[in-house]
Amino acid sequence: MVDKKSLRKDKREVRIRNLKRVTKTFFSNKIGTLGFIMLVVFFIIAFVGPKVFPYSAIDVAKGPMLEGPSKDFWFGTDHLGRDLFGAIINGTKTSLIVGFSAAFISIFLGTAIGLTSGFVGGRLDHILMRFTDGMMVLPKLPLIMVLSALLGTNLRNIILVIGFTGWTGTARLVRSQALSIRERPYIERARSIGAGNVYIMYKHVLPNVFPVIFARTILATSSGILAEASLSFLGLGDPLSVSWGQVLNGAFVNGAVSIGAWWYFVPPGLAIIILVLSFTFVGYSFDEILNPKLRGR
């Protein structure tokens, strides 16, 4: 008779060994380590910074208009005399919340549709993939703009719109993996002992497509951050939430480039680039962990 207690202990030890291996491989990659450190810094800024430097999109002016960096205003002031350093600090939280929330929605939808389509197959596969193809054909940014304008420009609607329009790539990738996995011998054995489709998908197929899902989550998060910044820059962001795109919109509308007010548009632009790069670096390192061929190189 199998000792369940010892079996659970063995499984726990295997998980610990795997975690140690993944951690060692991840931090042996200098690019991944750099990306991880950058992300940690951004998270500290996002959740500690607003308590130290409180700021609101409707703050009253605190200094002279369009003043350059000084000891009182480290990143200068905007066209209303508001502190741009506080805006950048507080905009970090908005970007991370939108990025992760939208990524969760898009990854969940893409995984559910791709897994069902690839494993079940048949007419359901045909219907789901034609719907996915139709969504992929639509230009993403104009679609997001139209939906945001229709639903209203608050943070919740922006997250929903970005999430519900960003699942197609994940669905395609997960489906291709599921098509391969469903033909493997252990799936046939599970079917032969009476396991249902839902049980097999959850217990056998999903764990095997998890590396693809994880990699797509990192990409989807950075895509969500860029999408939110684009919407805010175009004036379709939440007017009550501070964001980097909103700061860039203010700089563009008020001619910061033409008058040489570089402090108005350079810091938020660099913040967007660095945050997206940090996710890219982390994704590169995890690619090495999840793909043995890359690890061999």
Give me the mean pLDDT over the 47-58 stretch: 82
* C-alpha to C-alpha distance for 95 and 112, rounded to whole angstroms: 26
**How many C-beta neighbours within 10 Å does residue 235 have?**
14
- Res 29: pLDDT: 80
- Res 10: pLDDT: 67
- Res 277: pLDDT: 92
Judge whether residue 99 has pLDDT over 80: yes
More confident residue, 173 or 11: 173
Q: In percent, how much of the chain has pLDDT > 90?
A: 30
User: pLDDT category, 43, cuts 50, 70, 90?
Assistant: very high
For residue 278, what are the domain limits?
25-49+83-296
- Res 198: pLDDT: 83
Report how many domains make up the chain.
Answer: 1
Q: Is the alpha carbon torsion for 68, 72, 75, 78 positive or negative?
A: negative
CA dist 284 to 19, 35, 76, 168, 177, Å? 18, 9, 35, 22, 20
Judge whether residue 293 has pLDDT over 70: no
Residue 100 lies in a domain: yes
Residue 3 lies in a domain: no
CB 81 within 8 Å of CB 199: no
CA dist 72 to 81, 83, 270, Å? 12, 9, 22
The secondary structure of 31-96 as a DSSP string is HHHHHHHHHHHHHHHHHHHHHHS---TTPPP-S-TT----SS-TT-B-TTS-BHHHHHHHHHHHHH
Residue 252 CB-density burial (10 A; 0-12 exposed, 13-18 middle, 19+ buried): middle
Give me the mean pLDDT over the 247-266 stretch: 90
Tell me, what CATH number does 208's domain have? 1.10.3720.10
Angle (nearest 5°) at CA 195 between 189 and 197: 105
Residue (of 287, 291, 296, 282) closest to 35 by Cα position: 282
Which amino acid would we find at residue 163? Answer: G
Residue 11 lies in a domain: no
- Res 2: pLDDT: 47
Residue 67 lies in a domain: no
Residue 186 lies in a domain: yes
Q: In percent, how much of the chain has pLDDT > 70?
A: 92
Residue 7 lies in a domain: no
- Share the mean pLDDT of the chain: 85
Give me the mean pLDDT over the 217-228 stretch: 90
Residue 92 lies in a domain: yes
- Res 268: pLDDT: 93
User: pLDDT category, 196, cuts 50, 70, 90?
Assistant: confident
Exposure pattern of 145-181 as b/e (b: 16+ CB <10 Å)? bebbeeeebebeebbbbbbbbbbbbbbbbbbebbeeb
- Res 16: pLDDT: 79
CA dist 3 to 8, 11, 16, 18, Å? 9, 12, 20, 23
Residue 17 lies in a domain: no
pLDDT digits (tens, 9 = 90+) for 271-290: 999 999 999 888 878 777 76
- Res 4: pLDDT: 61
